[in-house]
Structure 1
Amino acid sequence: MTETVTTTANLNKFEKLKAEKDGLALKEEIEKIAKIGWEAMDETDRDHRLKWLGVFFRPVTPGQFMMRMRIPNGILTSSQMYVLGEVVQRYGDDGSADITTRQNIQLRGIRIEDLVDIFNKFHGVGLTTIQSGMDNVRNITGDPVAGLDAHEWYDTRELVQQIQDLFTNYGEGNPEFTNLPRKFNIAITGGRDNSVHAEINDLAFVPAFQENQERNSVTFGFNVLVGGFFSGKRCEAAIPLNVWVHPDEVVAVCKAIVEIFRDHGFRANRQKARLMWLIDEWGIDRLRREVEQRLGKELLPAAPKDEIDWEKRDHIGIYEQKQPGLYYVGLHIPVGRFCAEDMLEIARLAEVYGSGEIRLTVEQNVIIPNIAESRLQTFLQEPLLDKFAVTPGLLMRSLVSCTGAQFCNFALIETKNRALAMTKDLEKELIFAYPVRIHWTGCPNSCGQPQVADIGLMGTKIRKNGQTVEGVDIYMGGKVGKDAQLGTCVQKGIPCEDLQPVLRELLIQHFGARLREPAIV
């Protein structure tokens, strides 16, 4: 194929606004922005460039902004969670927070006038929102039980932090990487169950051992996957780069691949501005050669197999750590949404019972680690665990949902509230033999990742009885953990008001659910 040449004339509108002014430039204008208010702001700054600072204008809630954090590997301290809870409590108008499918947190109800104060609070506890939106490397995901899991191959925490520091200049902003053609997702897993969904990332590192037959030895490292992504136009699983890297090479390889994407990714058609489109144009061999050229050395070919050999865990419940006498407890946060009081209480529990550490999962849940065995039973009696259970229902425990139309202007349907209500009703109707993963997403952007679910529901608008109503397209066949694969659309255009009986039948026919016996009066 002939490589696409991008000129100023055929740049899309987002490339033009970036060429006019880098989003990171707004960092120096925060005091002015906070003083004049959102209605007096330049519209392009408000709607787009603020996203480089992690601040998102939402037309469905004018005047109430969303803030997206950067929480590498999903790891927080109790001090940081206290600050996040206090921000939602003090500044949020009907504020709430959502745990995302990238081990991150989004705060809602934020006023632009309070940005200076909020950023100062974040800085005081080592939090940042920098480059968390638009055409940047997004939150780096890693194993939620890294350093706790006795069976892990490698503790990913330090590597994830190094990658974050590289692309964000230690949270201060890095103009070298603020103008990518599109967003870029990176994940690194050192465990055995693919807890990061490696296959849906632009760049992923999965554990693998390289054999040296001459020395009769094996060395730990990572096989490299590239090109995974979801969009309204196309969804693809990541493919092997045919490269194995030592842990010491991971950060340099990340830098090289992101630089290649920055310098050569497509900028004319925004729908084709993800890494996989460049791979289509170049071929995987050329991408590998370009990486080696930037590194100044040849890379070893991929190890024959990776070490993802477990089915995926959800980490909900009570588990022994590798540290003798300590446990981590996974709390189920229904569809990842909690309020300020919940956040403050989670911080208190982590401080009182654990080491003050809190972890987030890509399933939108919370882990509190380092609880001594002697404190475990007392911890389990805490009232918050009535709301955020350690033994939720088998359908509820695997429920995932994007933000939905309540707060997101891209969403075509309401998701979180509907998902919760329908799941509760289905659990009343059915008995389940094992957890079933149902993911809701409000639009084809697939933030709720329906393609990796047992049953995925993608929001759409359909016609029923001459009226436009909210509906879903149904996806099935997604598999996580070892042998991960993406599901496909099996049924289109189901009105949401007619969805529950459809789900009931799918659960009975494909997932071993049984109808409950009617109560005897």
Structure 2
Amino acid sequence: MTQAVKKQKLNKVEQAKAKKHPLLLKQELEHFAQIGWEAMDEFERDFGLKWLGFFHRPVTPGKFMMRMRIPNGILTSTQMRVLADIVQRYCQGAGFQDQGNADITTRQNLQLRGIRIEDIADIINILAQAGLTCVQSGMDNVRNITGSPVAGIDANELIDTRGLCRILQDTITNNGEGNLELSDLPRKFNIAVAGGRDNSVHAEINDLGLLPAYKNGTLGFNIIVGGYFAPNQYVSAIPLDAWIPPEDVVALTLAMMMVYRENGPRENRQKCRMMHLINQWGIEKFRAEVEQRFGKPLATAAEKDEIDWEKRDHIGVYPQKQTGLNYVGLHVPVGRLYANEMFELARMAEVYGNGEIRLTVEQNLIIPHIPDTRLSAFLAEPLLKERFTIEPGILNRGLVSCTGNEFCGFAIIETKNRALAIVKELEQELILTQPVRIHWTGCPNSCGQPQVADIGFIGTKTRKDDRTVEAVDIWMGGKVGKDAHLGKEVMKRVACEDLKSVVRDLLVEHFGAKIKEEALVG
């Protein structure tokens, strides 16, 4: 523990970390399996295991969610098949009606649910054999590192983000084994590496965002810092006034993490993100401290970055920069996957592509490297007709949702099923002519990122007719891609049972929707 940390009054999480680094719990997994989840130390079960990637969920007692690390959101078909096997073998049980599931997250990642403490050690070994890891995916760690979902295949890309995301993860996690030095941050830390012109990673809501920019004819990155979402705290990143070439990305990231680790606040868990340190010091001092740790002067930022396109969602068929090859973006309704679908996706990626599968921050997926000669057969696959269409309805296309209270103890309301039901009804009642991005999050933690949506919902409760009912606060006006900015709250505590009509009015008033004649008659 550093001197700066010792001088602070530590919160309870920091006190527990000081007694035993949570990564060391890996050595006790067999013991935990023997004594069972109910006999475990409460901190170790509910917090410590998150350093290993396992999150106990009180809404499904005794069951853990596993959050993966998938840098740049890229999997092989073999890895997808391994994850499908884990879902099938280990993710069934109490709280799940008939089968386990996996969810694509807003960080190009996967979360698997329904895992028992007795199976964690075996699952970690299975992941390692497949070149996968879930270590350091929760609590005071760097979360999944996002990069361009079409890196290396987009004819218009500027920087291929795949290698940078991979080496960042390997460095930060000690090649998936766990890194004691870099897993004791004051709070979580998000990194996004943008490589294209449309900011497909939402860099502005990350603690560290890298935006492609030319300086003196050389392509590198402008740096933005301090973006984060927390309960009632929604902050966009600000410029560091620094530019770096790609070869300096890892060194600068480590320098910034060390400055944050050694100086960041550790008293109030609600005020421990890196932006709080920046606000305390001022951006000039923060930059100077990072520069000192970096070991050489930082160039001032390029005059402008190269984010000059509107945001793409990559759903549909697109030619790659490799002649004769295509990538196909599949719409995955609110990111939910089941084991049989995961096996099918792995098969399709092998039969039609080169076995690669990519995830996006919109909770969808891409299968690349499909030759022109195989495209028609791929598009005729039953899975694309039954579940993962390339032509979803306008509202469904832009729909994003967190897990909700079906599986998450933090969530105040149910989200995924409700989101799908409302959108289905609205698409039947309305004529829509322009895209509308609708994001749901079940609580103020904002995992569903409603502040960047055209229309966003944050779960809450309200009183109606002398009863407490599920409700949402409504946000509007979020912008992604070029000129990205957060939206604003426009309504509070709208009962979910009244929400469809409210959203219908918003779509008509602000997005040019028209009510179908049959709906008017009805």
Structure 1 range deviating more: 491-500 or 32-41? 32-41
Structure 1 CA distance for aligned equivalents of residues 316 and 33 of structure 2: 43
Structure 2 CA distance for aligned equivalents of residues 339 and 6 of structure 1: 44
| Counterpart in the other structure of 2:435 | 435
Aligned residue runs from structure 1 range 457-468, under 5 A:
457-468=457-468
Unaligned runs of 5+ in 1: 212-217
Which residue among 155, 159, 163 is the counterpart of 2:160?
A: 155
- Residues 133-171 of structure 1: per-residue CA shift (max 9 Å, x gap): 000000000000000100000101001111101110011
Task: Tell me the secondary structure at the aligned position of residue 224 of structure 2.
Answer: strand
| Counterpart in the other structure of 2:76 | 77
| Counterpart in the other structure of 2:293 | 294
- Residues 248-293 of structure 1: per-residue CA shift (max 9 Å, x gap): 1111010000111111110011111001111111111111111111
Aligned residue runs from structure 1 range 56-71, under 5 A:
56-71=55-70
What letter corresponds to residue 148 of structure 1 in structure 2?
A: I
| Counterpart in the other structure of 1:146 | 151
**Which segments of structure 1 move beyond 3 Å, counting only runs of 4 or more?**
4-9
Q: Contact conserved, 1:233 with 1:271, CA < 8 A, in 2?
A: no
Q: Contact conserved, 1:204 with 1:225, CA < 8 A, in 2?
A: yes
| Counterpart in the other structure of 1:507 | 507
| Counterpart in the other structure of 1:284 | 283
Please report how far the alpha carbon of residue 517 of structure 1 lies from its aligned counterpart in structure 2 after TM superposition: 2.2
TM-score normalized by the length of structure 2 = 0.96
Q: Contact conserved, 1:77 with 1:358, CA < 8 A, in 2?
A: yes
Aligned residue runs from structure 1 range 334-373, under 5 A:
334-373=333-372
- Residues 286-310 of structure 1: per-residue CA shift (max 9 Å, x gap): 1111111112211110000000010
Please report how far the alpha carbon of residue 456 of structure 1 lies from its aligned counterpart in structure 2 after TM superposition: 0.5
| Counterpart in the other structure of 2:95 | none
Please report how far the alpha carbon of residue 10 of structure 1 lies from its aligned counterpart in structure 2 after TM superposition: 2.2
Structure 1 range deviating more: 403-412 or 287-296? 287-296
Does residue 37 (structure 1) correspond to residue 36 (structure 2)? The answer is yes
Aligned residue runs from structure 1 range 66-465, under 5 A:
66-93=65-92, 94-211=99-216, 218-386=217-385, 387-465=387-465
Please report how far the alpha carbon of residue 123 of structure 1 lies from its aligned counterpart in structure 2 after TM superposition: 1.0
Structure 2 CA distance for aligned equivalents of residues 146 and 442 of structure 1: 31
Unaligned runs of 5+ in 2: 93-98
Task: Tell me the secondary structure at the aligned position of residue 176 of structure 1.
Answer: coil
Query: How many residue pairs end up in the alignment?
Result: 512
Structure 2 CA distance for aligned equivalents of residues 422 and 96 of structure 1: 22
Please report how far the alpha carbon of residue 11 of structure 1 lies from its aligned counterpart in structure 2 after TM superposition: 1.1
Q: Contact conserved, 2:5 with 2:263, CA < 8 A, in 1?
A: no
Please report how far the alpha carbon of residue 34 of structure 1 lies from its aligned counterpart in structure 2 after TM superposition: 2.3
Please report how far the alpha carbon of residue 64 of structure 1 lies from its aligned counterpart in structure 2 after TM superposition: 1.6
Structure 2 CA distance for aligned equivalents of residues 402 and 8 of structure 1: 38
Task: Tell me the secondary structure at the aligned position of residue 518 of structure 2.
Answer: coil
Q: Contact conserved, 2:68 with 2:109, CA < 8 A, in 1?
A: yes
Q: Contact conserved, 1:98 with 1:107, CA < 8 A, in 2?
A: yes
- Residues 77-111 of structure 1: per-residue CA shift (max 9 Å, x gap): 00000010010011111311000000000001111
Structure 1 range deviating more: 19-28 or 115-124? 115-124
- Residues 184-210 of structure 1: per-residue CA shift (max 9 Å, x gap): 000001100000000000001000000
What letter corresponds to residue 260 of structure 1 in structure 2?
A: V
Structure 2 CA distance for aligned equivalents of residues 384 and 35 of structure 1: 41
Structure 2 CA distance for aligned equivalents of residues 95 and 496 of structure 1: 27
Q: Contact conserved, 2:4 with 2:263, CA < 8 A, in 1?
A: no
Please report how far the alpha carbon of residue 319 of structure 1 lies from its aligned counterpart in structure 2 after TM superposition: 0.3
Please report how far the alpha carbon of residue 48 of structure 1 lies from its aligned counterpart in structure 2 after TM superposition: 0.7
Q: Contact conserved, 2:315 with 2:328, CA < 8 A, in 1?
A: yes
Structure 1 CA distance for aligned equivalents of residues 433 and 306 of structure 2: 28
Please report how far the alpha carbon of residue 41 of structure 1 lies from its aligned counterpart in structure 2 after TM superposition: 1.6
Structure 2 CA distance for aligned equivalents of residues 428 and 486 of structure 1: 30
Please report how far the alpha carbon of residue 224 of structure 1 lies from its aligned counterpart in structure 2 after TM superposition: 0.1
Please report how far the alpha carbon of residue 510 of structure 1 lies from its aligned counterpart in structure 2 after TM superposition: 0.3
Please report how far the alpha carbon of residue 40 of structure 1 lies from its aligned counterpart in structure 2 after TM superposition: 2.2
Please report how far the alpha carbon of residue 505 of structure 1 lies from its aligned counterpart in structure 2 after TM superposition: 0.4
Structure 2 CA distance for aligned equivalents of residues 482 and 9 of structure 1: 40
Please report how far the alpha carbon of residue 35 of structure 1 lies from its aligned counterpart in structure 2 after TM superposition: 2.8
Q: Contact conserved, 2:5 with 2:266, CA < 8 A, in 1?
A: yes
TM-score normalized by the length of structure 1 = 0.97
Task: Tell me the secondary structure at the aligned position of residue 144 of structure 1.
Answer: coil
Percent identity (aligned): 64
What letter corresponds to residue 58 of structure 2 in structure 1?
A: P
Structure 1 CA distance for aligned equivalents of residues 34 and 366 of structure 2: 39
Please report how far the alpha carbon of residue 233 of structure 1 lies from its aligned counterpart in structure 2 after TM superposition: 3.3
What letter corresponds to residue 256 of structure 1 in structure 2?
A: A
Structure 1 CA distance for aligned equivalents of residues 273 and 23 of structure 2: 21
Q: Contact conserved, 1:56 with 1:67, CA < 8 A, in 2?
A: yes
What letter corresponds to residue 202 of structure 2 in structure 1?
A: H
Task: Tell me the secondary structure at the aligned position of residue 394 of structure 2.
Answer: coil
Q: Contact conserved, 1:23 with 1:178, CA < 8 A, in 2?
A: no
Q: Contact conserved, 2:5 with 2:262, CA < 8 A, in 1?
A: no
Please report how far the alpha carbon of residue 6 of structure 1 lies from its aligned counterpart in structure 2 after TM superposition: 5.8
| Counterpart in the other structure of 1:215 | none
Does residue 493 (structure 1) correspond to residue 498 (structure 2)? The answer is no
- Residues 23-67 of structure 1: per-residue CA shift (max 9 Å, x gap): 100111122222332122222111110000000100000122100
Task: Tell me the secondary structure at the aligned position of residue 175 of structure 1.
Answer: coil
Taking a change above 3 Å as real, the CA distance of residues 296 and 5 of structure 1, as seen in their structure-2 partners, is closer
Please report how far the alpha carbon of residue 119 of structure 1 lies from its aligned counterpart in structure 2 after TM superposition: 1.4
Structure 2 CA distance for aligned equivalents of residues 133 and 394 of structure 1: 33
Structure 2 CA distance for aligned equivalents of residues 409 and 446 of structure 1: 14
Please report how far the alpha carbon of residue 8 of structure 1 lies from its aligned counterpart in structure 2 after TM superposition: 6.6
| Counterpart in the other structure of 2:96 | none
Structure 1 range deviating more: 383-392 or 9-18? 9-18
Structure 2 CA distance for aligned equivalents of residues 101 and 69 of structure 1: 13
| Counterpart in the other structure of 2:52 | 53
- Residues 359-405 of structure 1: per-residue CA shift (max 9 Å, x gap): 00000001000001000000000000021000000100110000100
RMSD: 1.3
Structure 2 CA distance for aligned equivalents of residues 121 and 303 of structure 1: 45
Task: Tell me the secondary structure at the aligned position of residue 490 of structure 2.
Answer: strand
